[in-house]
Structure formats: C-alpha cells, structure tokens
Structure 1
Amino acid sequence: MATRAKPPATQAAFVLHHYDWSETSLVLDLFTRDQGRLSVVAKGAKRPYSQLRSVLLPFLRLQVTLSKPSKMNEDGAAEVQTLRGAEWVGGQTLPGGAALFSGYYVNELLLKFLPRQDAQPALFDTYAELLPQLNAVDTAQAALRAFELRLLSECGLLPDLSVLATTQAPLEPERPYMISAESGVIVPNHDAPQLQGQALIQLQAALMHGSSAALQQACEAAGASMKPLLRGLLHYHLGHRPLRTRQVLLDVQKLLT
C-alpha cells in the first residue's frame, strides 16, 4: 500500500486570503509550492505582540512551518493545519494603486480554480514571477494574460491552440479564429474576440516551452484581443459567477469618473 508523502518541515508560501477565526486567531488560505492550496489556522496572529502580524499579508513570499493536521477527510488528506511559524524571505512587497487590484484579482482566480492540496510548483513559480511585474506599466497587462493562460493550462481547461478543434488540422497562420470554451479553436461563426492563426500558434509554442518570458512576449504580440478572449474563457469555467475584485474595480472606476 502506497504511503502519503510527508510535507516538508518548511516550505515557500503566499497568503491568498484570510478571515477571522476568533478574537485572536485567523484562518489563512495559503498557496504553497509543495502542497498547493492549504487552509491553515494562525493562532494568536491578531494579538498586538504577535510576530506573525507583520508578515501574514498578501503578496509577500514566506517560508512557513506547519504542524501535523488535526483533522483528516475521507481520503486521508489534511483539511486544516496549524501555522507554527512564518518568515518573510524578502523581495516583493505590497503592490500599490492599480497593481494592488490586479494582485487581488490573481489571488481570487487561484482561490476559485485551484483545488486544495494539489501541488502546482510550476504555477507557483509563475505567480511569484508575476507579482513584481504588476507595478510595471508597460508589461503588466501582458504578464496578466500570460498568467491567465498558464492557469487555464495547468488546470486542464485550455485546448490545444495550434489545431482546429473539429478536424485537428493545423491552423492557417493568416486566418482569424476564435476559441470556444466547450470545444477549442474554431472558425469564427459569430461576433466574438478573434486572433490570427499565427498568434495562436505562437501562444501554444510558448506554453509548451514553459518560459514565462516567451509566453508574455507572445501575449503582447497577440494584442488587445487577448483580454476579452481570456475573460470569456475564465467566465465560462467559473460558471458565469462574477469575480468580486473585478466588480470592485469597476465600482471604483465609476466613482472616479
């Protein structure tokens, strides 16, 4: 009988979300490199003298130590663990302005798409690379599109972008195509965001290569159509439930205008 691998003593993690558990404690949703998304109780983290108060913040790369789980589900997997320690390892700090909204948007995507305790080390590294880029005005949008593509791909929700869904024939570089969330790349049959075959082929090649820089470059070359195209795919796979961060951003924009 196979035994479940023991979690490492310490591991890299980011805080995606937290909420009150008691007057002095928090429940954290962590994105860890070795174990994926975890629910963790941080006892005493709200106390004024707690050393955890200054580090249990979104977008800070942490090294965390967890206790053995106190509760197991029917599959024998840990449901909730206790945070024993957390240290900020330096680097990226809290983004500001529009970048802060983008960061919370990405965190919400991870919360909604990733199952618990499903390790995604490649996606973790992509997320860590994305965060400092959110403050860069010139490249932030391309970096976001690259992350959205990588997220859909790692979750098994992105079709092969280099072939036609109906026949599996290679795409024609100069011909426009659209992406159906249900089937894949198809010939346009209604008014919807479209991309040239060459752009889709380059996106698929960058995904297969695994380089974040190459994927970001392909997203930038694909142009403005990438945003509504990916928004449609994400919206479909979310079950058409609106993202809270997106709604907040729209409300703020209305106030400013």
Structure 2
Amino acid sequence: MATRRITDEPAYILHSHAFSESSLILEVFSRHHGRVALLAKGAKKPTSGFRPVLLSLMPLRLAWGVSPAAEVQTLRAAEWMGGHVMPTGEALLSGLYLNELLLRLLARDDPQPRLFDLYAGAVQLLAASAHGEVLEPALRAFELLLLRALGLLPRLDEETDTGVPLAAHRSCVLVADAGLRPALAGERGALEGERWQQLEQSFGEPQALLAMLRACAPVAAELKPQLRALLQYHCGSPLLRTRQLLMDLQSL
C-alpha cells in the first residue's frame, strides 16, 4: 500500500531516544493525529537540520510519511512555530512532568485536538513562569483537564457513589479508587463542596484552562496529593520518573 504524507501538523515532542548512532525515535503529540512515534533519520548528526529544532516543550510543525504497516513512521520535515521560549528551572521540570503524564496515559493514534490545545496553553504558561505562584495552579489545572478529557475523573459537584449533589459547606475528598466522597474528621486535602463545584464549573468555560487555573489557585496545595494519587493510580507502576526526580531534589 502506498505511503501517504502528513504535512504542516502542529505537534510537540514528548520524549526522544537514540535509535542508532545518528538517528532518534521521537514520541510526538500531534493535534490531529494524537500520539505518534516518528523516526528522525540522521537527527544526531552535527550537520542535521533536525538537530536544533527537535526540542521538547517547543511548538513545532512536522511532516511525516504514513505507512499502515509500520508502527514507527518516518519524519520528513520539522520547523519551529515560534510563540514562546523554552521553559527553564522549575517550569522545565514541570513541563517534562506533563510530557510524562501524556506518555503514560495517551494511547497511540488517538486524536485529542482539544487536549492538544490545553497542553499548548499549559506549556505557554510554564514558559512565562519559570518560578512563582503560577506553576502549581497551572499543573493542577492541567491534571484536572487531562483526567476529564480521558474519562478518568468523576463529576466534582456530586458524591461519586450516590450521585447526591454536594452541599456547599460539606467537606469532601477525591480518592483514587472511590471518587469524590465526604471527608473524615481531619482528613488531609478536604475541600468544601463549593470549591469542588467551582472546579466542575470551570470545565464548561470557553477558556477552560484559564478558568481552571483561577479555580485551582486558592486550593492548589490541597489538590496536589489527591490528584497525584489519582494520576499514579491510572498510570500504574513504576512511580512517575519526573515526580521521583523532584522528590530527590527536594531531599538534597
């Protein structure tokens, strides 16, 4: 069967590893084709035009051939789209964490254009916030949006087991294997029902990432352990490598 060609496809590189002395295998998140694996021939050579372009967390336009019989397709062209600089410092590690989440949770060849746009927006936020108050809410916002996009997050305005709407002032927690339930006395991370309701409402906003960012800002610390436990539950073993790296750095 003849090979067709994908051109001018918005994409980000999630991960790359050596295929030979001169080539790379790229795990790519593309807007219209989802997660795909691409062979970048000669990309490690000093003279390769791919070498300065194939960077994680940078918006790219890619072209590749599609052979139905091949699991890994061949990259034909790549160019930087511009728009923001490479995240640095804590923002860089945060971006790599988002990449690992996508690698662990996204199936191959499953288009997710809305999730792609949310990811692009999150990377732009990280690039503009090398450190500071925006990083944690941005991560929590993307985690929530990712989980909902993949059907892994229950509604946040009702108790999961009963479907009973949350009372505004009743504290609840999000549990990996049980969803949203009333909190026990003194339970860590408990939020009042009205906070969970605000988070749920943010999913339906036209600018969902910014709306979720605002909703997460005052409760990011409480959400962090609950969302990390839920994400690890769905990612399975081993522990997310970027999370382990951050824990190791914090222990130095």
Post-superposition Cα deviations, 1:109-130, rounded to whole Å, max 9, x if no partner, equal 1100101111111111111111
1:244 matched to 2:241: yes
Aligned to 2:11: 13
TM-score by length of 1: 0.90
CA offset digits 1:218-246 (Å, max 9, x no partner): 11133420111111111211225311111
2:78 to 86, 91, 97: 86
Cα distance, 1:71 vs structure 2? 2.6
Stretch moving more, 172-181 or 33-42: 172-181
Matches of 1:95 and 1:83 in 2, distance apart?
Answer: 25
Quote the Cα distance in structure 2 between the aligned partners of 1:25 and 1:70: 22
SS at match of 1:209: coil
Query: Which residue of the partner structure matches residue 24 of structure 1?
Result: 22
Structure 1 distance, partners of 2:7, 2:135, is 35
User: Shift of the alpha carbon at 1:17?
Assistant: 0.4
Paired with 2:176 and 2:139, the residues of 1 have a C-alpha distance of 19
Equivalent residue for 2:154, pick from 159, 162, 167: 159
- Using CA pairs under 8 Å that are at least 6 residues apart, name the structure with larger relative contact order, 1 or 2: 2
C-alpha separation between the residues in 1 aligned to 2:176 and 2:205? Answer: 23
Separation of aligned partners in 2, 1:225 and 1:7 = 46
CA-to-aligned-CA distance 1:6-50 (integer Å, 9 cap, x gap): 774220000110001111110000010010110000001111111
| Pairs aligned (count) | 244
For 2:237 and 2:36, the matched residues in 1 are separated by: 25
TM-score with structure 2 length normalisation?
0.91
Question: Tell me, what secondary structure is at the counterpart of 2:214?
Answer: helix
Contact kept, 8 Å, 2:136 with 2:220, in 1: the verdict is no
What is aligned with 1:57?
55
Report the identity percentage: 43
Structure 1 residue 70, shift from structure 2 partner: 6.2
Q: Are positions 1:174 and 2:169 aligned together?
A: yes
Identify if the C-alpha distance between structure 1 residues 254 and 181 changes in structure 2 by more than 3 Å, giving closer, same or farther. Answer: closer
Which secondary structure does the structure 2 equivalent of 1:71 belong to? coil
Task: Please report how far the alpha carbon of residue 182 of structure 1 lies from its aligned counterpart in structure 2 after TM superposition.
Answer: 2.4
Equivalence for 1:197: 193
Gapped regions of structure 1 (runs ≥ 5): 1-5, 73-78
CA contact (8 A) 2:5 2:63 kept: no
- Does structure 2 conserve the Cα–Cα contact (< 8 Å) formed by 1:11 and 1:32? yes
Moved over 4 A (4+): none
Which amino acid letter does the alignment assign opposite residue 62 of structure 1?
Answer: L
Question: Structure 2 vs 1, CA of residues 223 and 17 (structure 1 numbering), >3 Å: closer, same or farther?
Answer: closer
Q: Is the 8 A contact 1:59 1:93 kept in 2?
A: no
Q: Would you say 1:146 and 2:146 are equivalent positions? A: no
Q: Which residue of 2 aligns with 1:75?
A: none
* Partner residue in 2 for 1:184: 179
Query: Closer, same or farther in 2 for the Cα pair 1:233/1:41, shift >3 Å?
Result: same
